[in-house]
Amino acid sequence: MSDQLYLSLWYPNFRLAALPAALDKVMELFGRVAGSAHVRAVTVYPISWHEPAAYQRVYDEEHAPDLEASEPRNAIADAMESIHDDFAYEFELAWELWTPESGGGLETAWKKTPSVVRIIGFGPEFDEGAYEQNGHVRIDFGSDTYFLQEDVDLDSEAADRVKQNVQMLVDFTNAVQQQGGISSRLLWSESGETLAQKLIARLQSVN
């Protein structure tokens, strides 16, 4: 069963005014690993996740003005023009990860497909101080399927593709640790199981 994967980041002596710069740095580091850091969409939530969005924008990269506006610094400036301590600011990006294609043949074909990653900055009063558990910044990687592929027969090629996906996750996490100015980080899942434990068990089953 797939699980949702997150990376929570906390910063030393953090102030709300520093949130835009923190988000910009995380997106910069993401772009180095992913090859692109253009923002696909932005949603700003007031007070809690249950409230209607206060701001939304979807970017069309085929439209030249949108391409410039979707650069992280510009997207952050637009979304956080008026910054509030009880808002959450969600930026949707994507990176390409190896995915198995279902075909008519016996062998599984693999191709790179976009996988959505959401980078969220939390105001200290949003959702009753949820940042204490979620981090000042949280990265939502979506399903851990890309990093485990539990429904695929894991031959040597499949194992190699899974390892390449995992390496991107490791590279990004390490970059944030070393260059993000954070005080602590936590890679976690909704189930509470660690990705490392599941990955070790998975790779031990290579045919």
The string of pLDDT tens digits covering residues 125-183 is: 999 888 888 999 999 999 988 988 877 777 888 889 989 999 999 999 999 999 999 99
Closest Cα partner for 171 from 147, 136, 145? 147
Higher-pLDDT residue of 194 and 123 is: 123
Inter-residue contact 91 to 119 (CB < 8 Å): yes
Burial code (b: 16+ CB inside 10 Å, e: under 16) for 146-183 equals bbbbeebebeeebbebbeebbebbeebbebbeeebebe
| Res 207: pLDDT | 46
H and E: helices and strands count for the chain: 6, 7
Q: Of 90, 18, 136, 204, which Cα lies nearest the Cα of 196? A: 204
**Above 80 in pLDDT, residue 2?**
no
How many structural domains are present in the chain? 1
What's the token pair of residue 141?
């990687």
Q: Domain of residue 152: give its range.
A: 4-203
Partnered with residue 88 across adjacent β-strands are 45, 122
DSSP state of 53: P
- Token reading at 116: 């959505």
Question: Is a pLDDT exceeding 70 seen at residue 206?
Answer: no
pLDDT score for 103: 60
Q: Please, what is the average pLDDT of the chain?
A: 89
Query: How far is residue 205's CA from residue 78's CA, in Å, rounded to a whole number?
Result: 48
Token pair, residue 162, equals: 């899974």
The pLDDT of residue 205 is above 70? no
